Amino acid sequence: MRISELSAKSGVAIPTIKYYLREGLLHQGQQTAATRAEYDEAHLRRLRLIRAMLEVGRLPVASIKKVIEAVEDESLPVHEMLGTAHYALSPAVEPEPGEDWQLARDQVDRLIADLGWDIAPHAPTRDELAQTLVRMRQLGLPIDLTPYAETARKLVSEVEMDKIPFHGPRDAAVEALVLGTVLYGKAFDALRRMAQESESARRLSP
C-alpha cells in the first residue's frame, strides 16, 4: 500500500507517519521509485503500537524509542521485551531521604519474597509501591497488601496474560500489553469505586 492508504487504514496523518519514519520509530517502506514506497501489514502493526504507547500509555517519544528498539531486537527474549514496555509505563519515582523510605522499601522487598514473585531488583514498580507505602504510613492507614496482591495475581494469571499474543508478531504483543495494562487498569479502578459505592449503600442506606 502507498503512504496515503497506510494513513487511511491507520488513522495516522501522513505528516505524522513521515515524522515517525524520520525518527526511526517506523521502519522504511519498500522503495518502488525515487519518491514512492510501498508499505505492508507490519507497518500498520507498528503504527498501532506507536499510537497505543503515545495516546494510551502517554509515553514520551524517547521512551517509545526504547520500546521499539526492544521490539526490533530479535535476540531479546519476549519476557525482556515486555519488561521494557512495562518499565516505560512506570512513573519515575525518586527515593526519599529518611527512615520512612527505607522501611517502605524493605517492606516491598519482603512482600515480593513472601509472594514468591519473580521481580527484577531494578524494577521501577518496587520504588513506586514503596512511595505509596510511605504515604499510607504517614496518613496512618493500615498496611496489609496481601489481599490486593492476591487479586492482582489472579487477574493477571487467569485473565490478562491470556490476552497477549506471546508467539505472534512482537509489535502485537507489546501493543496488547500496553493497552491491557493501561485500559484494564483504568476499568478495574472504576469498577472498584463502583463496588465501594454499592457496598456503602448496602451497609448504610435505610
pLDDT of residue 73: 94
Q: In tens digits, what is the pLDDT along the chain, a chain of 206 residues? A: 889 999 999 999 999 999 999 988 888 888 887 778 889 988 998 898 888 888 888 888 989 999 999 999 999 999 999 999 999 999 889 988 889 999 999 999 999 999 999 999 999 999 999 999 999 999 999 889 999 999 999 999 999 999 999 998 999 999 999 988 988 888 999 999 999 999 999 999 88
Task: Pick the closest to residue 50 from 16, 75, 93, 86 (CA basis).
Answer: 16
pLDDT of residue 205: 85
Beta strands in 40-111 (DSSP E): none
Which of 72-82 are b and which e, b meaning 16 or more Cβ less than 10 Å from the residue's Cβ?
A: eeeebeeeebb
Burial class (CB in 10 A: 0-12, 13-18, 19+), 33: exposed
- Residue 157 grid coordinates: 494469571
pLDDT of residue 37: 87
pLDDT of residue 134: 95
pLDDT of residue 206: 80
- Residue 150 grid coordinates: 492476591
pLDDT of residue 70: 93
Task: Pick the closest to residue 171 from 58, 60, 40 (CA basis).
Answer: 40
What pTM was computed for the model?
A: 0.82
Euclidean distance between CA atoms 101 and 104, whole angstroms: 5
What residues contact residue 7 under an 8 Å CB cut-off, 6+ apart?
A: 13, 14, 17
Euclidean distance between CA atoms 103 and 76, whole angstroms: 35
Euclidean distance between CA atoms 173 and 165, whole angstroms: 5
pLDDT of residue 34: 74
* DSSP code at position 127: H
Distance of CA 61 to the CA centre of its chain: 15
